[in-house]
């Protein structure tokens, strides 16, 4: 997979938050996982097709990205969501570049 133009990691909290009659805020955390977002400003048709064949489907896959300790070493089980291709430059059916985003959401909670 080509190196992304930008990458971000965002915690996802599954929680319930309540304010008691006395005005105290209570929070119950049920799950915490991460969503990884990888963005390519310019991706070739070949690279997009390769990624698309690997991420299509409902089965989780192992994701390893050594820059983040949350997904380094053994990796994490994630579900993929690949954006549509946004034409950036070029023409024809095989010689153009696209802007693409890949979202990966962890399957299991870390709590």
Of residues 2 and 49, more confidence is placed in 49
Report pLDDT for 82: 92
Cβ partners under 8 Å of residue 46, min gap 6: 94
Closest CA relative to residue 30, chosen from 50, 14, 9, 53: 14
Spans of all domains in the chain: 6-10+37-106
Q: How confident is the model at residue 90 (pLDDT cuts 50, 70, 90)?
A: confident
Predicted TM-score (pTM) of the model is 0.79
Report pLDDT for 100: 95
Mean pLDDT of the chain: 88
Decide if 29 contacts 15 (C-beta within 8 A): yes
């Amino acid at each position: 997979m080509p190196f992304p133009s930008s990458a971000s990691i965002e915690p996802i909290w599954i929680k319930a938050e309540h304010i008691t009659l006395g005005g105290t805020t209570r929070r119950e955390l049920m799950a915490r996982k991460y969503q990884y977002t990888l963005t390519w400003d310019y991706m070739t048709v070949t690279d997009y097709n390769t990624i698309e064949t690997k991420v299509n489907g409902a089965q989780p896959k192992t994701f390893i990205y050594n820059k983040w300790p949350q997904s380094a070493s053994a990796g994490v089980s994630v579900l993929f969501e690949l954006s549509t291709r946004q034409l950036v430059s070029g023409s024809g059916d095989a010689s153009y570049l696209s802007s693409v985003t890949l979202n990966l959401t962890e399957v299991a909670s870390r709590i």
